[in-house]
Amino acid sequence: MSDTPILTITGLRAKVADEDLDILKGVDLELQPGEIHAIMGPNGSGKSTLAKVLAGHPEYEVTGGEVTFNGASLLDLEPNERALAGLFLAFQYPVEVPGVSIANFLRTALQARLEDGEEVDLFDFQDELIDRMKLLDMEPAFAERPVNDGFSGGEKKRNEILQMAVLRPSLALMDETDSGLDIDALQIVARGVNTLRDENPEMTILLITHYQRLLNFIKPDVVHVMVGGRIVRSGGPEVALELEEQGYADWKDQEVVTA
């Protein structure tokens, strides 16, 4: 692992575009290549907002701070430019795109990564897609279904990981990928993520979750606790276990004190 962080967040503040109050109130975070970080926190603490702001969601507005991704400023980039730079957001609520098959969508996404004049080789793509689907226990026919249209919650989450597996980001933000998954599906997803990391040890992951459960399957190097739009504690995996026992009550009290 190199000493240059892949992602550096400094004093990041952000709000919903047409509202007044900041949701992120000065987030500091540093991820080294290949690390797995988990951010835990209660509802409304700003975890998902952080993921969306990093991916460039138009609903949010950055009001302060900086984010450096691979040595360049991230916040000036359009969402698609961030994706091409290697960032991937696995959505908490994946969006339905009726009439567009997963295969077609992914081929278009891969095509976007090529230079003008280059074309995705259809046969290579087909092989790759089938290979990636096997990794996630998916039937090949799944690729012909319209993106997230009529999917169960579990199928949507698995589809997110499939996209991640095909697009091979250097930084994956996984926003509550575990919610709505039963234990079998959770294990499949975790196995997929771990395989991707075995294939590319440099792949960096930021997991956002309510629960310790996911962390039994995807082992984090660092666990952060986010409360009231700030990281209030960072530590090793033991932090997650503490939270599981004690909940967030202590941190909430602290927020009231500091507010």
Partner 1 sequence: MPENELVKGLGLDEYQYGFVDDEAHVFRTRPGLDEDIVRQISKHKDEPEWMLEFRLKALKIYERKPMPTWGGDLSDLEATLDEIYFYVKPQDHMERSWDDVPDTIKTTFERLGIPDAEQKLLAGVGAQYESEMVYHSLKEEWSSQGVIFDSIEDGLKNHPELFREHFATIIPAADNKFAALNSAVWSGGSFVYVPRGVELKTPLQAYFRVNQERMGQFERTLIIIDEGAQAHYIEGCTAPVYSTESFHSGVIEIVLKKDARFRYTTIQNWSNNMYNLVTQRAVVNENATMEWLDGNLGSKLTMKYPSCYLMGEGAHGEIMSIAYASDGQHQDTGGKVVHVAPNTTSSIISKSISKGHGRSSYRGLCKVYEGAINARSNVECDALLIDETSRTDTYPYIEIEEKRSSVGHEATVSRVGDAQLFYLMSRGLTQEEAMALIVRGFIEPIAKELPLEYAVELNRLIELEMEGSVG
Q: Which of residues 67-86 bind partner 1 (CB under 8 A)?
A: 78-80, 82-84
Of 95, 183, 249, 257, which lies in the binding site for partner 1, with binding defined by CB under 8 A? Answer: 95
In 86-193, DSSP assigns E strands to: 87-90, 171-175
16 binds partner 1 per the rule CB under 8 A: no
Do 146 and 101 contact (CB within 8 A), yes or no?
Answer: yes
Residue 150 sits in the site that holds partner 1 (CB under 8 A) = no
56 binds partner 1 (CB under 8 A): yes
* Helix-strand-coil split of the chain, %, nearest 5: 40, 25, 35
Nearest to 55 by CA among 175, 190, 215, 218: 175
Beta-bridged to residue 156, according to DSSP, are none
Alpha helices (H) in 144-237, listed in sequence order:
153-167, 183-199
* Cβ atoms < 10 Å from Cβ of 109: 16
Question: Rule CB under 8 A: is residue 135 a binding residue for partner 1?
Answer: no
Name which of 87 and 186 has its Cβ closer to partner 1: 87
Binding track over 152-181 against partner 1, x by CB under 8 A: -----------x---x--------------
88 binds partner 1 (CB under 8 A): yes
Q: Smallest distance from the beta carbon of 153 to partner 1, in angstroms? A: 16
Query: C-alpha 10: how far from its chain's center?
Result: 19
Separation between Cα atoms, residue 228 and residue 254, nearest integer Å: 10
User: Does 113 interact with partner 1 (rule: CB under 8 A)?
Assistant: yes
Cβ-based nearer residue to partner 1, 113 or 219: 113
**From candidates 73, 108, 246, 258, binder to partner 1 by CB under 8 A:** 108
Which residues contact partner 1 (rule: CB under 8 A)? 55-59, 78-80, 82-84, 88-89, 91, 94-100, 104-105, 108-109, 112-113, 146, 163, 167
